[in-house]
Amino acid sequence: MALLCVNAFSEEVNIELHKMKEGPSTRSLTIDPVVTYDANTVHIYNSDNLLENLQVTVKDLLGNVVYSNAISISYNQPYSFILNNVESGVYEIELSYGTNLFYGYFCL
């Protein structure tokens, strides 16, 4: 993985998400979240359905968890959170919903 860190000022940048796994599904719901960041604020968008208990985890490259929360996100209502007291560097975000797991990398 090659990720170039460039500080962007007040510009929302898309985080490319990769789907890690999908196990046997007990529901027919598919999700396609979009995650962006602007400075130290992360935004999660969902354009399809209400997502309840979406687990959001942000880790540094050493695997230390710097943010973790189970959230609900409504149709076209983004969920945003601020990463406080974190150093500049590369971070991984993971979104887990049922048997779906997405991950992506971003720089602060």
Residue-wise pLDDT for 29-42, tens only, equals: 567 889 999 989 99
The single residue listed with the structure tokens 């985080």 is 15
The residue ranking higher by pLDDT, 8 or 91, is: 91
Residue-wise pLDDT for 45-69, tens only, equals: 987 778 889 999 999 999 999 999 9
Residue 80 lies in a domain: yes
What does the block give as tokens for 59? 């880790």
Single-letter code of the amino acid located at 15? I
Count of domains in the chain? 1
pLDDT at position 5 is 65
How far apart CA 69 and CA 106 sit, in angstroms, is 18
Residue 96 lies in a domain: yes
Domain ranges, residue 95: 13-23+31-107
pLDDT at position 98 is 86
What CATH number does the domain containing 101 carry? 2.60.40.3080
**Is the per-residue pLDDT at 93 higher than 60?**
yes
What does the block give as tokens for 96? 């887990």
Q: What angle do CA 87, 33, 85 make, to 5 degrees?
A: 15
The pTM of the full predicted model, rounded to 2 decimals, is 0.83
Residue 7 lies in a domain: no
Decide: 60 and 66 in contact? Cβ < 8 Å.
yes
What does the block give as tokens for 6? 């460039």
**Is the per-residue pLDDT at 3 higher than 70?**
no
Radius of gyration, alpha carbons of the chain? 14
